[in-house]
Chains A and B, each alone.
Chain A
Amino acid sequence: MTVLFYLLALVATVATFLCITERHPVHAVVYLVTSFFSLAVIFYLLGAPLVAAFEVIIYAGAIMVLFLFSIMMIRPEVTEIDLHPGFRDWWPALLLGGILLAALGYTIFSQPLRQGTVSPGEIREFARLLFQKYGVAVEIVSLQLLFALVGAHYLGGRRR
């Protein structure tokens, strides 16, 4: 488990570094998704399976797709998409994917999978805290999402 954490931390750091130094925005977003996946597994190792699931579903699934969507919609000026990628373009993806696969294999084969890592009581505690202690915050967040929806509609839906 400890080795797995350091491997995933390495993958997250390297993927983020490649993301911020990447010239093309689409490649940067894909590197960022790699980083988010390894961070999600780190959250799972730290005993937060729900946050890990939300990280994959909302961050890697929704927000990054929104990024890709807008990048493809406005087509930025730098479009030096290499049509014939050589080894230079492949090795970071191969290295990061290899480390992720090795971590996965280590988890599966090195130890028996712990059944029921998250007990239902834990989730129940989470939900009780969320909707009772922080109920006002949930309402505020829902209002904020509504405002964001209205604002995005106003900004993006304007026809000229």
Chain B
Amino acid sequence: MIVPLEHILILAVILFLMGLACTLVRRGNLIMMLVGIEIMLNAAITAFVAGSAAWGKMDGQLFALFIIAMTSAEVSLALAMVVYLHRKRSTLNADAFSRMKG
């Protein structure tokens, strides 16, 4: 370990909080909400890799790999949905989609 584990976890927490803030605050743009989710998943990956380096186990890196694969599936579906919603309402404001059938 080049730095103590706590410092990497602090970095991960800061990134996670910024992603959370981005998801909660930027509701006017669905794409920015997705960007916030990406930031949060990256913070999780950072925590996993830090744990893997701290305990000398490979499992953390494997979970990082699975998170990356999961993210690529999630993003492709979510962006297809954003394009679909924009085609329907021609807006990206999340508050415009408060009803499922409308």
User: Residues of A at under 8 Å CB distance from B?
Assistant: 1-2, 5-6, 9, 12-13, 16-17, 19-20, 25, 28-29, 32, 35-36, 39, 42-43, 45-48, 50-51, 54-55, 58-59, 62-63, 66-67, 70-71, 73-74, 76-78, 125-126, 129-130, 134, 137, 141, 144-145, 147-149, 151-152, 155-156, 158, 160
**Inter-chain contact count A-B, CB under 8 Å?**
165
A50 and B92 form a contact (CB under 8 A): no
Q: Which residues of B contact A (CB under 8 A)?
A: 1-3, 7-8, 11, 14-15, 18-19, 21-22, 25-26, 29, 31-32, 34-36, 38-39, 42, 45-46, 49-50, 52-53, 58-59, 61-62, 64-66, 68-77, 79-84, 86-87, 91-92
Other than the known A12-B11, A73-B83, what 16 A-B pairs have Cβ atoms closer than 8 Å? A6-B3, A20-B21, A42-B8, A42-B46, A43-B46, A46-B1, A46-B52, A47-B53, A54-B64, A66-B75, A67-B35, A126-B61, A141-B69, A145-B69, A152-B76, A156-B83
A16 CA / B66 CA spacing, docked (Å): 23
